[in-house]
Amino acid sequence: MGKIGSDYKKINLADWNRKEHFSVYRSQMKCGFSLTTKINITNLLPFIKENGYKFYPVMIYLITRAVNNHEAFKMAMKDGELIVWDYVNPIYTVLHPEAETFSALSTVYDADFAAFMANYNRVAERHADDLRFFPETPPENHFNISAIPWINFDSFNLHIADFTDYFAPSFTIGKYQQQADEILMPIAIQVHHAVCDGIHVAKLIATLEAYCKDIGTVLKSQV
């Protein structure tokens, strides 16, 4: 399915129900918003361990699949027009422990889990010793994922100095912890208000939670 370049459709602003909201938050009152919540991954962890997967790439896949199911998170400006990518690829940070720096890598999205993992592993192997921030040119159709696996945070805010017309969302995941009978993982989401409202974030979180709860079924389905 996936490829670095992607097709897209143009949004007809004249007929769009968010035309006024888009105009206000893009030009008159430029703003984004962030939200931090905790995702229940109680069912996900045993599945990962039983199958010998690594946690981070599985989460990257699940977040990417959720993002690609919601148009509000795939919007961008292209040639002066608002568009929705057919799909977007994740740009994610990978730590270099000895240098204590990281690189931003990207894996071509594929709804098929095995294909996505194969793509991820090829990228990881190709750039294992590359300390550059961007070892490869990032795809135009992208969004962002990072991880702070050492901290179980309750709130996280990514401050972007100037995000004019930059509509790609950013996700940050933290250290998961057990609370009572559940294992919860913090996740922070930063979005541009011109294209995304609270209801859109809520729907995406619900999708991601459903994926984590019923992981076996999700990975069998490529929809």
The residues annotated as belonging to the active site are: 193
Instruction: Please say whether the dihedral angle defined by the alpha carbons of residues 74, 75, 76 and 81, taken in this order, is positive or negative.
Output: positive
Beta carbons of 156 and 187 less than 8 angstroms apart:
no
Q: Which amino acid is at 120?
A: Y
How far is Cα 115 from Cα 68, in angstroms, rounded to an integer?
16
How far is Cα 49 from Cα 85, in angstroms, rounded to an integer?
34
Angle at 35 between CA 34 and CA 41, to 5 degrees: 140
Residue in the block written with tokens 């040639």: 79
Task: Let me know if 40 is exposed, middle or buried by CB neighbors in 10 A (0-12, 13-18, 19+).
Answer: middle
Task: Let me know if 20 is exposed, middle or buried by CB neighbors in 10 A (0-12, 13-18, 19+).
Answer: exposed
